[in-house]
Amino acid sequence: MFRNLFDSESGLMTFLSMLFDLMVLNLLTLLCCIPIVTAGAALAALHQMLIRMTEGRDTYLFKPYFKCFAENFKKSTIAWLLMLAFVCILAVDFWLTSAMPDSQKKIMYVILLVAAFLAALVLIYIFPLQAHYENSIRMTFSNAFRISIGYLPRSILMLAIMIAVPVIFLYFIQYLFPIGLTVGISGVAYIRCRIYMQIFKKLDPPEAGSGEDGEDAADDAAVIESKILERQIPGRDL
């Protein structure tokens, strides 16, 4: 019994191996995020490595991570800076709104909160899409918006996870600090990866010899529009 427990193919060893990989990825991502401007490439590389893990591909970490980092650097950095600029503009808008008369303030707060909510949904998918597909930055943002709306329940679930985990961590920081430091970023990203890869598999071109339920395919096409299936083809830069 105990011999099987510590077998390399056992559930325990598989879990421990995955945990170690997440710890390494978390450390690499933290280090590569230190300059702040490189955080976009670091997050894209993280998601690309997590996608490989969920697909059962090789789990060599150091060299592939930095290769992904270099490959995604330009587009991911631009996307990251655009995101930061939008957040700054939104923060200034909230600050200016606070000085408005009460009659206008409520309306503006509603508009800004809706804009912030939609932006947060879109931002969930930016780096996973950047990691999994070859597209222009404009098309990546466009596809992120379509997917976030087309798969709204899953998008809200991922957003809730991204908000809830840091809140819980900060509330119990004296107990959870070691966990947050070792797998805080990669752990949350891995949970998200398990969710968004279910979506990506529906949007990926079907492999030869693989069948897909006709009704499911029709539903996906109706929700996301057929253009996204044409434009999100791995290996194609549009």
Give 5-28 pLDDT, tens digit per residue: 555 566 677 788 888 999 999 999
CB-based contact 144:122 (threshold 8 Å): yes
pLDDT at 208 over 50: no
204 occurs within a structural domain? yes
148 occurs within a structural domain? yes
Query: CA-CA distance, 25 to 188, in Å (whole number)?
Result: 12
86 occurs within a structural domain? yes
Structure tokens at 26: 């978390």
pLDDT tens digits for range 49-105: 999 988 877 667 888 999 999 999 999 999 999 999 999 999 999 999 888 888 788
- N-to-C CA span, the chain: 54
Instruction: Tell me the average pLDDT across 201-213.
Output: 63
Tally the C-alpha atoms within 13 A of residue 13's C-alpha that lie toward its C-beta.
9
Q: What is the CA radius of gyration of the chain?
A: 20
The count of domains in the chain is 1
238 occurs within a structural domain? no
pLDDT at 210 over 50: no
Q: What is the mean pLDDT of the chain?
A: 82
Residue from 155, 154, 176 nearest 165 by CA: 176
Highest mean pLDDT among 58-72, 148-162, 202-216: 148-162
- pLDDT value at residue 16: 83
Say which residue, 219 or 154, is predicted with more confidence.
Answer: 154
Q: What domain range is 103 assigned to?
A: 2-231
What's this model's pTM, rounded to 2 decimal places?
A: 0.80
Highest mean pLDDT among 8-17, 197-206, 225-234: 197-206
Q: Which amino acid, residue 8?
A: S
Query: CA-CA distance, 119 to 87, in Å (whole number)?
Result: 9
Query: CA-CA distance, 17 to 61, in Å (whole number)?
Result: 12
- pLDDT value at residue 12: 72
237 occurs within a structural domain? no
236 occurs within a structural domain? no
